[in-house]
Amino acid sequence: MKTKTETKRQAILDEAARAFRELGYEGASMSEIRARVGGSKATLYNYFASKDELFFEVMTASCEAEFQAAHASMDPTTGDIEQSLRHFGERFLSFLYSPEVQANRHLSIAESGRTKLGQLLYERGVLRSQRLVAESIREAMAQGKLRTADPMLATQHLYALLEAELIDRFLLQLLGEVSKAEIEAITARALAVFMAAYGPASDQAAAKSR
Amino acid sequence: MKTKTETKRQAILDEAARAFRELGYEGASMSEIRARVGGSKATLYNYFASKDELFFEVMTASCEAEFQAAHASMDPTTGDIEQSLRHFGERFLSFLYSPEVQANRHLSIAESGRTKLGQLLYERGVLRSQRLVAESIREAMAQGKLRTADPMLATQHLYALLEAELIDRFLLQLLGEVSKAEIEAITARALAVFMAAYGPASDQAAAKSR
DNA sequence: CGTCAAATGTACTGATTGGTACAGTTAAAG
DNA sequence: CTTTAACTGTACCAATCAGTACATTTGACG
């Protein structure tokens, strides 16, 4: 019997996710969600105590699913660190700027003040992702493939460079779908800057200029 | 008589701005705004046709004011481009991450889907700012102070690097006030990366590695 | 088949919202 | 003073919302 209720719960979460994505938090009323999932409003409230709780579950669940999808094949050190980072960057941007994830992320940002949602998404999403990549970068630094520096800082610089050409339009919801070709070009330009600063010291002095 | 109505209009805008900042768009009801500004709701609707219009005016006005404040003393070429960029970066971050501007920006992002608000704020805020800085960078490139590259791309990379350590926590509303010391340190770290990639070619080959 | 918890549909509450109506008041301009 | 316009206060409307009550139906398990 647990299986039946679990599938029902998942069905509610799925439909609610779509409703929130299309209509926003305030725009998606519980009646609207009920209409999509079918059944009665009492059932909704049987699975989730309040709209806030339902939204919270939807956001953390989607965050988790998307995180797994994005970092599934994060090969660490395949010899060429630049190649590794390029593959990761392209996969990362493809994931982050798919229409569904764009919508989810924007929703997360807009409603981040609600309860402790922001805190939790930061820890389980952003921080977790950055720590994972920072570990690869730390290893590359230890092997002399990258100049020695703070791995978390390098990771934040990498992420920022990857998003540099997209984030402003994304935040103001002016960005549609981003083509694979665009993502490859953007990643290449970002990595050129990253490698100039964090590439092996043998290449050049570079970042610690002052 | 135009002066009276103009000051009244400004008073409404000011109080509405504070209300939106503190309570968000949905949270700040027209009755709440009326209570803050005093007078009657009819007067409110005499100056602004709808809540949407009032919000739109508040956002564009604050965007304009903040833009002016941030770019007021953007000295172009004072010899050392790195020094120039550092001063700009510190001023820019101080402005962008003051509590008031943080709140306004977050509000803009959250409600950017409303009407054509996002489009307008992007053009009058982001694009205008980037074009201004890109022009300085273009001149520096022409003078050989920076490696030749696309000035708008360099500007976007610069902005991204400056915000790299703050933006995630800002977006999820986990960032309080940022101290002057932190801003200086963040700017220095961002500029080190930027100069490694975009510094004069005499320093090194750098960015166009592939 | 009988049991019993889970699911359903409908109807409802109480509160809040953006926006309007209107009659009365202020106050500046001629 | 008179005109004319804006301003005020209060009361109100229609719609919408999250959440509840309840009587009824379903459907899986023993």
Task: Please list, in sequence order, all residues whose beta carbon lies within 8 angstroms of the beta carbon of residue B164, skipping any fewer than 6 positions away.
Answer: A156, A157, A159, A160, A161, B190
Instruction: Tell me the longest C-alpha to C-alpha distance in chain B.
Output: 67
**Residue B208 DSSP class:** -
Cβ-contact B108, B201 below 8 angstroms: no
Higher pLDDT, A3 or A22: A22
Q: What percent of chain A stands above pLDDT 70?
A: 90
Q: Which residues of B touch A196 (CB under 8 A)?
A: 196-197, 204, 206-207, 209
Task: Please list, in sequence order, all residues whose beta carbon lies within 8 angstroms of the beta carbon of residue A197, skipping any fewer than 6 positions away.
Answer: A147, A157, A206, A207, B192, B193, B194, B196, B197
Going from the C-alpha of B183 to that of each of B54, B89, B166, the distances in angstroms are: 34, 9, 10
Using pLDDT thresholds of 50, 70 and 90, give the confidence band for residue A79: confident
- Mutate which of B60, B152, B157 to test chain A, going by most A C-beta atoms within 10 A? B157
Using pLDDT thresholds of 50, 70 and 90, give the confidence band for residue B77: low
Using pLDDT thresholds of 50, 70 and 90, give the confidence band for residue B106: very high
Cβ-contact B113, B121 below 8 angstroms: no
Cβ of residue B76 closer than 8 Å to a chain A Cβ:
no
Tens of pLDDT, residue by residue over B176-199, are 999 999 999 999 999 999 999 999
Cβ of residue B4 closer than 8 Å to a chain A Cβ:
no
**Mean per-residue pLDDT of chain A:** 90
Cβ of residue B157 closer than 8 Å to a chain A Cβ:
yes
Q: Tell me, what's the pLDDT at B78?
A: 67
Instruction: Tell me the longest C-alpha to C-alpha distance in chain A.
Output: 67
Q: Which residues of B touch A171 (CB under 8 A)?
A: 109, 112, 171
Q: Tell me, what's the pLDDT at B30?
A: 93
d(CA A76, CA A166): 26
pTM for the full predicted model: 0.90
Tens of pLDDT, residue by residue over A40-54, are 899 999 999 999 999
Is B36's pLDDT higher than 70?
Answer: yes
Q: Of A66-70, A87-91, A202-206, B195-199, where does mean pLDDT reach its minimum?
A: A202-206
At position A109, the amino acid (one-letter code) is I
- Mutate which of A193, A198, A203, A210 to test chain B, going by most B C-beta atoms within 10 A? A193
The residue in chain B having the minimum alpha-carbon distance to the alpha carbon of residue A152 is B165
Cβ-contact B153, B177 below 8 angstroms: no
Q: Tell me, what's the pLDDT at A106?
A: 97
Q: Tell me, what's the pLDDT at A6?
A: 76
CA B65 to chain centre: 10
**Mean per-residue pLDDT of chain B:** 89
Q: Tell me, what's the pLDDT at B75?
A: 63
Tens of pLDDT, residue by residue over A135-193, are 999 999 999 999 999 999 999 999 999 999 999 999 999 999 999 999 999 999 999 99
Count CA within 13 A, CB hemisphere, residue A37.
Answer: 29
